[in-house]
Amino acid sequence: MDIVAQWVRVSWTKQSRGGPHAARRNALPMAFALPENRVPLTHEVTMHERDEFQPRASLRVGAPSCDAVQLRYAEERVRVELIPTAWGMPRRHRRPPAGRLARGQWVRWQINYRFTSHCTGDWLYRLDTLNIAHGPVPVEIFLTEPPQTIDELAYLR
């Protein structure tokens, strides 16, 4: 399947929930230029509070994990559905419909979570942004305005 995916994952603690720390976190990019133009490809960029939100990137040839994204090819389109992690809260009982991408199209899907630390009981937060395209695309494609956005952002307390 000709898929180019980019995960941008930001994680933080309650220290970055308010004030100037939250402003800095909210100003982080939701997309980056791809390191190469190959399909299938999964590019992951993580930014953690503990690293002062410095981007750390990894690259893997192949589509995203089937545990994280469900992909189905039908009628020359790819059906894309993000699969929420089982460990994050709040639970999503009502979900948006899957996206359908023709060749050359892309979608941005955002979802956020709250996790409980097993060691301390403290809450940890994460924002996942999945930028995903069908077919070969320019390396700057995800830096443009998304033609379709799916928003699963929830109030995290």
The pLDDT of residue 65: 93
The pLDDT of residue 4: 97
The pLDDT of residue 14: 87
The pLDDT of residue 12: 94
The pLDDT of residue 74: 87
The pLDDT of residue 72: 95
- Collect the ranges in the chain with pLDDT lower than 50: none
* Alpha-carbon gap, residue 132 to 115, rounded angstroms: 25
Segments of the chain assigned E as strands: 3-13, 41-48, 56-61, 69-74, 77-82, 99-102, 106-116, 123-134, 149-152
- pTM to 2 decimals? 0.94
Chain-centroid distance of CA 61 in Å reads: 17
* Alpha-carbon gap, residue 78 to 70, rounded angstroms: 10
Q: Which structure tokens are listed for 133?
A: 């395209």
Do the strands 3-13 and 41-48 form a parallel or antiparallel pair, or are they unpaired?
Answer: parallel
- Give 3-29 pLDDT, tens digit per residue: 999 999 999 998 888 778 888 888 999
